[in-house]
Structure 1
Amino acid sequence: MIGFIGSVFSPWYRWSGRRDPENHCCINVATYGPGSRFTMTDRGRPALRRSADTFEVGPSRMHWTGRQLVIDIDEWGAPPMVTPVRGQIILTPQAVTSAEVALTPDAAHIWRPFAPTAHISVNLTQGHVWEGHGYFDANFGSRALEDDFDFWTWGRFPMRDGALCIYDATRRDGSSLDLAVAIDAGGAVREVTAPPRTRFARSLWQVRRETRADAGVMPRQRLNMLDAPFYSRSLVETRLNGEATTGVHEALDLTRFRQPLLKPMLAVRVPRRRGWTFPD
């Protein structure tokens, strides 16, 4: 589940010239398995309302209670499964960090790992009712991702004493980002040395994938979660510094995303809704 102001993967935002991010906001929800749905409605400025502790986009909202992030979802699935997606997600961080990481030298792109270790409770209409471990992070940027990056991968892997987050990227100027951050149970953040990048099987759309792995270990997909021509999200099993772990992995091919023909395809999955009136 992702909340956007300036929906970076919205063709409508790109076609608008990216001049008004608040006029292109959304709450994106993706579920997996039987009854899976994908929602990513691009909404206009009237649908956005926010305060210090609440973020609302149309009928859905996120609210920080001081201890928990409560997410109330009231969306419609994207074609071809145009049905309601409703319910609530509650995320309870084990600790909240103060870390902030610049992904480019000029800090045009920032990553904030707010709560890499958390408990999550999910209760959605399609029968997705479960509890487990989760995470909460955020990205901020003043330029389009595809203007500064060709490719990146991200991974969050639970470890015995917390979590290990890995951010690797190839920038358009030819430089690289190679980042591994360990977060302990108390929220302390430190940069660490992780094993080298290791390629593994491409996604269904043939998106290149890589993550970190100990020498002689081949990472492998345990669950396909989301597959697009430029993007892959999956559960990936690997071994990091001697510890076996399975975490959420993302690969983003921004060279593909820059292709103009991709935007009309995305518009089918990302409908545009301009108007909205909040009830009194």
Structure 2
Amino acid sequence: MPSNGYAWWYIDGLSDDGGRAVSVIAFIGSVFSPWYAWSGRRNPANHVCINVATYGPGGRFTMTDRGTSALRQSRDCLTVGPSSMRWEDGRLIIEINEISSPPLISRVRGRITVTPTALTQVELPLTPEGTHIWRPFGPTSTIEVDLDAPGWQWTGHGYFDANFGTRALEQDFRYWTWGRYPVRGGSTCFYDAVRMDGSSLAAAVHFDADGQAQTIPLPPKAKMRRSLWQVARDTRADAGYQPHQVKPMLDAPFYSRSAVKTQLDGEETVGVHEALDLTRFRMGLLKPMLAVRVPRRARWHFNDAP
């Protein structure tokens, strides 16, 4: 992977009863790590992590930036320190053993299993030069969560994708929103972005249960209420419908993730939405703030405790 590059694998899930949610991101070249930025982004493999966040009663956030000694890769498995994800018999199995960030410091341990109905064969360049690529592997999935905490054993609808890039996000983008929504027969995803050169990306893709992808006409944009940190948010919805947040997830000065209800082709649906303000992320003040939530552990050894 080139200097300044990154790869991340992203998983999310919402419980069938709507009360709980989870997200997992495995990073090589951790794009939101202040330590990677402060290093000059010279060596992506020296800034790796598996970020786990749980949303609902007893929710926790874990994101430890680790060095090269913590990274092991094979064709079907990625291991970062005490946690890993592997592809096995058509399922993505994530083994978690992390310590959550302040102020609620505790162990987050267990297994998450994601089973796509099918794997897609498509990818979407997010810039004309192809410096950032979105790869939706399993946009229509089921998820099974089994963590060592009361109430954190549940099933629901899930999602699995990846992003790859050769430049920092803030070099090429000012702002973006993304959303994935389960719909009849599959799922629909939206990617909207404003690039640094003023050009824009607006993509709408429907995936059927067999993994076949089809670009679809873009529903109108609909503004939503700003996040708690006042990050601007919008998503796509049928004309005249007002989408809204039904569950808060991650809220940061430059980033919002939430469960959002919208309407597409007359069908109401609840999916996961994110808004990313990279103009804010470029502000120097944010890096020390992030370092509190993203501790650095450079010298991991596989016989270490988490």
Per the shorter chain, which TM-score range? over 0.9
SS at structure 2 position matched to 1:95:
coil
Report the equivalent of 2:116: 93
Report the equivalent of 2:256: 232
Report the equivalent of 1:37: 60
CA distance in 1 between partners of 2:94 and 2:268 (Å): 31
CA distance in 2 between partners of 1:220 and 1:80 (Å): 29
Report the equivalent of 2:27: 4
Amino acid at match of 1:225: M
SS at structure 2 position matched to 1:235:
strand
State which of 3, 17, 20 in structure 1 corresponds to 2:43: 20
Cα shift at 1:247: 0.6
SS at structure 1 position matched to 2:45:
helix
The answer on 1:206 being equivalent to 2:230 is: yes
Cα shift at 1:279: 4.0
Matches of residues 238-257 of structure 1 in structure 2 within 5 Å? 238-257=262-281
Q: Could you tell me the percent identity over the aligned residues?
A: 64
Cα shift at 1:119: 1.1
Q: Which moved more, 1:190-199 or 1:250-259?
A: 190-199
Amino acid at match of 1:274: A
Aligned length: 280
Listed as ranges, the gaps of 5+ residues in structure 2 are 1-23
State which of 75, 96, 99 in structure 1 corresponds to 2:98: 75
Q: If the length of structure 1 is used for normalisation, what is the TM-score? A: 0.98
State which of 143, 153, 165 in structure 1 corresponds to 2:167: 143
Amino acid at match of 1:189: A
Report the equivalent of 1:114: 137
The answer on 1:222 being equivalent to 2:246 is: yes
Report the equivalent of 1:272: 296
Cα shift at 1:238: 0.9
Cα shift at 1:194: 2.4
Cα shift at 1:204: 0.5
Aligned-pair Cα RMSD in Å: 1.0
Cα shift at 1:125: 2.0
CA distance in 1 between partners of 2:56 and 2:91 (Å): 26
SS at structure 2 position matched to 1:91:
strand
Report if the CA contact (8 A) 1:194-1:240 is conserved: no
Cα shift at 1:124: 1.1
1:225-246 CA-to-partner distances (Å, cap 9, x unmatched) read 1100000000111111222111
1:20-57 CA-to-partner distances (Å, cap 9, x unmatched) read 00000000000011111000000000000000000000
Listed as ranges, the gaps of 5+ residues in structure 1 are none
Report if the CA contact (8 A) 1:153-1:250 is conserved: yes
Structure 1: 4+ residue segments shifted above 3 A: none
Cα shift at 1:126: 2.8
